[in-house]
Amino acid sequence: MKLFPRALLSAVCVITLHFVATPAMAEPTQVLAVKSKKLNLYGAADGPRVEALPGEQVKTPIAILEVAPNNRLKVEIGGKPYWLAPHQVETDEKITVEVRCRDQVSSYASTRGNLEKCKP
């Protein structure tokens, strides 16, 4: 099969843009605070709860060693490895959301500052 230079150039551009322009997902590196009164500790990424600690007893920040496919966070507490549910803790993960403003309700749009981040 003979590839024409134009088709080859197009393929190279698409592949390059895919690997260069795709944003990287930034994983969290540390737990900054505990959101709940009780922090559940799990023995495995998909395992049952093995222990629970009062939230105020947990010293933060805690380094995150690994993030499981189900988003549980592996940490070390008291010299033992545990997994945490991400909804129970606050991490340093950067979350950015692109705001698109389409048909806005007039009362919402009239509130100062609501449409400042909109992209047409």
15 located within any domain: no
17 located within any domain: no
87 located within any domain: yes
CATH number at residue 53: 2.30.30.40
37 located within any domain: yes
What is the count of structural domains for the chain? 1
What percent of the chain stands above pLDDT 70?
57
Note if the pTM is more than 0.85.
no
Burial class (CB in 10 A: 0-12, 13-18, 19+), 120: exposed
11 located within any domain: no
Of residues 18 and 55, more confidence is placed in 55
Domain extent, residue 37, equals 30-91
Q: Which among 28, 29, 38 has a CA at the least distance from the CA of 88? A: 38
77 located within any domain: yes
22 located within any domain: no
- 59-82 pLDDT per residue, tens: 989 999 999 999 999 999 999 999
DSSP string, 5-36: HHHHHHHHHHHHHHHHHSPPPPPP-EEEEE-S
